[in-house]
Amino acid sequence: MIPYDLYHGTSNDFAIVDANAQHVPDRGAFAQSLCADLGIDGVLFLAVNDATEPPRAVMTLVQPDGGTAAMCGNGARCAARWVAARTDADEVMLDTQAGTRRTVVDGDDVAVEMGAPAFDPAAVPVTGDAPLIREDIAGYPVTAVNTGVPHAVAFVDDVDAVDIDADAPPIRHHDRFPEGANATFAEATETGFRQRTFERGVEGETQSCGTGAVAVAVVAAREGRVPENATVSVSPPGGTLTIDLDGDTAVLHGPTTVVGDGEADATPARQVDT
């Protein structure tokens, strides 16, 4: 059996496995099974090196479909708190598929440097030679940005009016996104933005998406909705996140919660689409 810890960041739920201590032969099958059993958004495998200052960990997120995601903002915040608790550190470096990310842990609150957002079509990626900015895709004005993973961001008058299960998949699978994209919808409010995201790899709406919140903030700045160096409040259904755009890298701030722990079979059968 494989022990795991359960964390969430604004209701973005993850199981965390100590990759140094536990060998999981098929991480994809393990994540498929555990995500289905627990109704969580992914499994974080963390390989910690506490011999460095600050400590660092290799972070691999395996999603409910059995695939990996290069980066996850809320997952990184949960991972940093997990590492900090085991190393008595208040700063943790995370090595992700999207690059190394510095995190700062202050009790329950964790900030993660998300890197520089990319609108370049090759970096998102999108087809074509120019950035995809407010282009009509499936009836929505979509702007494409990579904040560790690709997001298709559309500002709407009312996020609650979006039929996300019907409207998001045509964006998520659109031909303009050769690797697919997360479909993120945002609504301006008096204090910031509301957000809903249909996540690639989850293939459904999640209660929070950190890379999506950063995408909302940086697209809002590009479209002139907020100053380029603003501190932006973004509220997905699961809570409120803060994004600081005043620097070379966007910084995502928010709470994390320890939920509990458990054990799971190391070798479940992999699910196959039929």
| Positions marked active-site | 72, 209
Cross-strand partners of 13? 8
Cross-strand partners of 47? 58
CA-closest candidate to residue 68, choices 100, 32, 103, 34: 32
Q: How far is it, in rounded angstroms, from Cα 213 to Cα 221?
A: 13
Burial environment of residue 163 by CB neighbours within 10 A (0 to 12, 13 to 18, 19 or more): exposed
Q: How far is it, in rounded angstroms, from Cα 245 to Cα 18?
A: 32
Q: How far is it, in rounded angstroms, from Cα 68 to Cα 78?
A: 17
Q: What are phi and psi of 73, to 5 degrees?
A: -65, -50
Residues 27 and 65 sit within 8 Å (Cβ to Cβ): no
- Which amino acid would we find at residue 181? A
Cross-strand partners of 94? 57, 101
Buried (b) or exposed (e) across 71-107, using 16+ Cβ within 10 A?
bbbbbbbbbbbbbbeebebebbbbebebeebbbbbee
